[in-house]
Amino acid sequence: MLRHEPLKDAWAEQRLFNNRIFWAFTGLLLLTGLLISRLINLQVVEHQRYADLSHGNRIRIQPLAPTRGIIFDRNGIVMAENLPAYQMVLIPEQVSDLDGTLDRLSELKLIDEQQRQRFFRRKRGKRSFEAVPLRYRLNDEELARLSVHRHELPGVDIQAALVRSYPLGSTAVHVLGYVGALSESDLQRVETSRYAATSHIGKIGIEGQYEDRLHGQPGHRQLLVNAQGREMDARGEAREELLRNRQEPVPGSDLILSLDSHLQAVAEAALAGRRGTVVVIDVNNGDILALVSQPSFDPNRFSAGGMSNEEYLALQNDIDKPLFNRALSGTYPPGSIVKPFIALAGLEYRAVTPDHSIFCEGYYSIPGNEHRYRDWKKEGHGEINLHAAITESCDVFFYMLAMELGIDRIHAMLADFGFGQPTGVDLPGEKSGLLPSRDWKRGAFDRRSERIWFPGETVITGIGQGYMLVTPLQLTHFTATLATRGKRFKPRLVTAFRDPLSGQITEIPPQELAPVELADDRYWDDIHRAMGAVMNTPRGTGWAVALGAGYKMAGKSGSAQVFSVGQDEEYDEEEIDERLRDHALFVAFAPMENPQIAISVLVENGGSGGRAAGPVVRRVFDAWFEEHRQ
């Protein structure tokens, strides 16, 4: 018999449905509870945090560039300042035809191809509504031309800005240096946050050496912006809040230099048209009163991106090297300038006395060697003592004295004066020169045969030839030490800082160095008298330089060979290439009785020191003592 099962269990289905409804409702309640708790957390618990974040999203911090410090000379004359200038900028979103606009600016001769390429590099990473510089400095004629055609150039605007200016032009450019656009290498070595609002940085000279002092500290202001970052007008309390949060930049310190800009201009004019240097130092504190390197250049061409790559390369590749600071980085044989120092060594080590004399027949030969080391005076000087040997610059006397001293004692004496060492001046790029010795030569050459110090090398060291090299700054430094009878100061250019806000001046005291001490101070008098005779007696090699001066000076002329001449050979200055002629040198200090200043002059390929460099010494001394007549 068949059993009939029900096809549907209504009660079971109802229970299943009710269970599902229960759990669905429970889940909905849990999710709603989570949502409500999250809303409470966001709107109540963390309200302040998200309010601050929201505020940050609508506020943009804009850095403010500090004003660069001003540079003054010792008399308060401005040598580097900041002047307002007009910049040409372009706002990309306002330009419908960017290439066409740039083409039109090119037709108007307001930009060149290089500036066009720079614009595209600057444009990268900027928003379309941000102004991109096209030109950093427009002259009056360019400004007028742009103003006339401005209606044709939507999106092109003019903005005012401060740019670095050098009112004296090329005067003292190798001291001041210049500012130039920040490069990748610059950004790697500076604190980038300090340069967020700055496009330029000190490159060389004082501008580079004292960049930290001159640059100052940037400030910032707050801008109200929308979601796209575009600035919006702030009003009411929002505007007041933005103003309260503004931090003004701190301007850079002003610098006061030791330079006398008038004396600097006189020295540059005296050397005009020639390659060379003039360095003048106050012997009583180390202040550099003038530092000239010729030829020079106008630093204003570098300010605010005013120089093209082609112009810079032309300067860099110029055969006369106008960018090269000869006074600090040029190294030259000192020639006869070294003779007073060799004489001091002779006196100190008692290798010679002031009255000791020798007979000069126009050449010297090392005993047992036939090679002749010639005197500049072919027929010789005859019987001559130390005083006359300095006065007349007798080479033979110093050949013999050098051999008597030996290279070790020569090295010891000259090292006391600072030969072969940087002076420590507060400018970058100073070379140390070279003071040769046995130890130096052993480490300077690879071949064993070249490491030996030969007697002939000692001979020519006695007249400042051979391996010995000095910078013009060193020559003046050594001469100042002679003038002060051994008292030495570190040469310096910055003498004080000035707070641009308060005007307070903080002076930097001179730094005295270890003195040169002699066994008998009368040796200084012997050298002073001999150097005075160089300038003030008819037989002196500098007599024509001092003729008619209203003050007494002491000095020494010299020349340094550029290339070697065979033993029995001579050359005519008129027949050889100008760049192969001897360098002309002259050092001096004055007044002789109470020295105030020391000078060195070097004229590259100038020939005779007395003829080429001496007149420059006279013009500079005359200018100084005319201004400081007591």
Mind telling me the catalytic residues? 336
Element holding 164 (H helix, E strand): strand 156-165
CA distance 408 to 439: 10
Phi, psi of 235 (to 5 degrees): -130, 165
CA distance 389 to 394: 5
Q: Residue 308: name the closest of 478, 105, 113, 480 by CA.
A: 113
CA distance 393 to 531: 10
Token digits of residue 398: 């110093």
Query: Is the Cα dihedral 288, 293, 298, 300 positive or negative?
Result: negative
**CA dist 262 → 171, 485, 532, 569, 624 (Å):** 10, 29, 27, 45, 9
SS3 463: coil
CA distance 353 to 351: 7
CB 169 within 8 A of CB 300: yes
Cα–Cα–Cα angle for 451, 453, 458, nearest 5°? 150
Amino acid at 137: R
305-312 long-range contacts (CB < 8 A, ≥24 apart) are 305/118, 305/135, 305/136, 305/137, 305/180, 305/181, 306/136, 306/137, 308/112, 308/114, 309/114, 310/114
User: Could you tell me which residues are beta bridge partners of residue 254?
Assistant: 498
CA distance 472 to 276: 9
Q: Residue 274: name the closest of 292, 262, 259 by CA.
A: 292
CA distance 81 to 604: 33
Element holding 107 (H helix, E strand): helix 98-107
b/e burial code for range 537-573 (CB count within 10 A of at least 16 → b): eeebbbbebbeebeeebbbbbbbbebeeeeeeeeeee
SS3 60: strand
Phi, psi of 182 (to 5 degrees): -60, 130
CB 264 within 8 A of CB 292: yes
Cα–Cα–Cα angle for 314, 267, 342, nearest 5°? 100
